[in-house]
Structure formats: structure tokens, C-alpha cells
Chains A and B, each alone.
Chain A
């Protein structure tokens, strides 16, 4: 392929999803400068691999590259302080506070939500970002995260339950 033509096609099909790429990188790295590094590297990788892109859906394709870039970046940087795995997290924390109010009776504060989302295990935060912020289908999430559709479904259910539980605990905690 002729290179200026390749760039033009890349700008038309892939570059429109730069915001999505950066948003995912931001939620994965949980840091603004790291998200920029990962996004830059992912866009260069995407351009390099673009000759091999045959699909029609550029967004999940790009998000998958962002995700892979993030994991190799984390490996390189020996970020082992990453959050606990999903399995460990399944252990319920005893809560002796009074039953927190139902979420739909609450005015959910965006800052509180952002902080709570950031404390979720990586797998949960990632699946929620893709579903709720990027509006990806189960099929797209399965392709991006390289997991079966059934796992997408169960992981999303558990992620939502945990987010809801943490939010309700926080709301109960901050309210007198």
C-alpha cells in the first residue's frame, strides 16, 4: 500500500476512535501521564499493524491494541502493585453498618463514582469501562478482552454488583 494513502485511510478509520483509546488507557493506568504514553504507543502500533487490519470494526480493534499495549507496558514497568485479582475479591467484607440506601434513591455524585470505580479490581474496571463508557457489545468486549461471551456476562454482573455494594457502603459511610 502506498504510504500517504495508508495514512489517509488510517486517519479516516482509526483516528476517530482516539478518544475511546485514551479513555480506556486512562481507566487502565489510572494516571494521566501514563495514559498518554500508552495511547501514543498504541496508536503507533495500530499504524504499524494497519496493513493487516481487514475487519470493518476499527474501534474494538484499536481498543484491543490499547489493552495489549497497556499490559506490555505494565510488565516493562514492573508495576506489581496492581490491584488484587477478581478471585480474592469475591470474599465478602463483613459490614455492620446499617443497611445502605438503594442507589436509585440517591443523587449519585460523579466524583464519588469516579473514586469508587478506580478502586475496583482491574478486570472489573475494564469490563465496566468497555460496557458503560464505551458502549461496547458483549461480542466486542469478548474480542477485546480475549474471553468467552459467557465470561463477559458473568464478569459484568459481578463487577456491577461490587460497584453497587461499594457505592452503597460509601454513601452510608459519608451520610450521618
Chain B
């Protein structure tokens, strides 16, 4: 081995990655190479300094708890999926019919039987399901003029779709979901890594629920009724930024 080849062994030797034979050869070389010895001394002090606790960032307890919660939720969702997912498409067709006939006829004008708390649960579950099942969007588009017409013929109403990319909430697409006993439009927006689900469906007159907000299972929920539609916004985004998103959604134009 020439000198250059031996010098190339310095780092793997320092990392204990050489086999015994090459290791011995390098150590022999070290005896008469002051430059390699110097480098190794420098690397040793560097390695020692790199073990300082200031350089290591363990996960803090809040993050640990958040992840633990997310995982438990993922398990619940996956369990539900097994019985839920295969039959969903067939069930949806039946249910849409049922909604038209049963709810339309029997419950017209009657305050919704779903209480606010149950609806929060449902909305959060729908949000989690959308994240876990790789079923975030049926129509994948950042263009409001693609997303809005996609719902035509799939729903008996047309949800308002806003482009908020310039404000830092890009539209990812939309899908059909099922909430409050009926098919609803789900619009998906992003904020950094956070997903925001906006569920929209026609409101009863008068609205069966007052506007409100809260958090459930670590998700923030804000809901209100406007222009004859129920809006439910669910996300793990912080309340401040989610509030900003809602204000943008509510602003005219």
C-alpha cells in the first residue's frame, strides 16, 4: 500500500471500520507519520467535544405525548377501517338514497338529532380517517375551478371553494365524506405539514347548532353556519393559525 492509500484509511480506522489486517497496516504507518497522528489527535478532541449535551436534541415530553396520542388514534382508525372500508362504497350509495328519502322526508325542519358533541367526535374521526387511510383527496388539485365542478353530480349542493394559496394555505383537493348522517364535501388545505379538513354541507333552517370552537383528541375544531351551509374545520394546526384560516374562509370574495 502506498502512502496515499494509507492516508485514505485514516477515517475508517478512526471509526473502527477496518478489518484486522488493514488496521494493523495503518497502525504501522502511524508510527512514522506525524501528520496522521496529528490529524487523529484533532479528530479525537472533535469527537469528544461532539458528545456535549448541548449538541443533542432529544424529543421533549410534550412531543412524546402528542405522538403517543396520534398513534393511539391511528390504531382506532385502522381498526375501524377494516370493517368500514370495504363496504364503504356500496354503503355510500345506499346511504345517499336513504338520506334523500328518510332524512329528507322525516326530519325536515326537525332539529338535528346529532348533538354538538357527537358531531365533534364524528368530524375529528373523519379527519383522522382521511389522514391514515391515504384517502385525503378524491380529486387532487390546487385549482378551485377543478375542485368545485368535481362535486357536481356527486352532491346535491355546491360547496364554496376558495383559493388561499397566496395566504399560505394551499388547496390540496377535495373528496366526499360522510358526516351528520349525510354525504358532505371535504375540502383539504395544507399549512406546512399540517392538513386542514373543511367539511361543508347545507344547513337546516334555522341552524341546528350555534357556531363554536374547541379541541378534541388534540385536534382543533371550529364550526359555524353561513350562506346556508354548515362549515366544520378540523386540524392539528395551532388555534392561532387555524383562526386566521377561518377568518380568510369567512371573508367575502
Contacts and interface: CB of A to CB of B under 8 A. Distances in A.
Contacts of A44: 70-71, 74, 131-132
Contacts of A15: 67
A40 B64 CA distance: 9
B49 interface: yes
Contacts of B75: 3-4, 6-7
B191 to A, nearest CB: 10
B227 to A, nearest CB: 32
Interface in A116-142: 117, 128, 131-133, 137-138
Nearest to A44: B70
B12 A40 contact: no
Interface string A128-168: 10011100011000000000000001001100100110010
Contacts of A117: 55
Given A47-B71, A164-B42, A131 B15 contact: yes
Given A39-B63, A43-B70, A102-B38, A157 B52 contact: no
Interface string B51-66: 0111111110001101
Contacts of A102: 38, 41-42
Given A3-B75, A153-B11, A113 B56 contact: no
A113 B49 contact: yes
A153 B12 CA distance: 7
Nearest to A160: B43
Interface in A1-48: 3-4, 6-7, 10-11, 15, 18-19, 21-23, 26-27, 34-41, 43-44, 47-48
A54 interface: no
Contacts of A18: 59, 64, 67
Q: Is the interface of B mostly helix, strand, loop or mixed?
A: helix
Nearest to A163: B46
Contacts of B43: 160, 164
A142 B175 CA distance: 40
A38 B79 contact: no
Given A48-B132, A102-B42, A137-B17, A40 B58 contact: no
A56 interface: no
Interface stretch (A57-65, A88-96, A104-112): A104-112
Contacts of B70: 40, 43-44
Give the size range of B's interface with the partner.
35 or more
Contact of B63 (A23, A40, A137): A40
Interface in B67-106: 67, 70-72, 74-75, 78-79
B192 interface: yes
Given A43-B71, A114-B54, A104 B63 contact: no
Contacts of B1: none
B63 A3 contact: no
A38 B57 CA distance: 14
A55 B236 CA distance: 32
A10 to B, nearest CB: 7
A151 B78 CA distance: 40
B17 A19 contact: no
A11 B72 CA distance: 11
A18 B15 CA distance: 25
A144 B177 CA distance: 38
B21 interface: no
A37 B238 CA distance: 12
A103 interface: yes
Interface of A: 3-4, 6-7, 10-11, 15, 18-19, 21-23, 26-27, 34-41, 43-44, 47-48, 73, 76-77, 102-104, 106, 108, 110-111, 113-114, 117, 128, 131-133, 137-138, 153, 156-157, 160, 163-164, 167
Given A22-B58, A34-B192, A108-B46, 20 more contacts: A4-B75, A6-B75, A10-B71, A11-B71, A35-B57, A40-B67, A41-B193, A44-B131, A44-B132, A102-B38, A103-B42, A103-B46, A104-B45, A113-B52, A114-B54, A132-B47, A133-B50, A153-B12, A153-B17, A167-B46
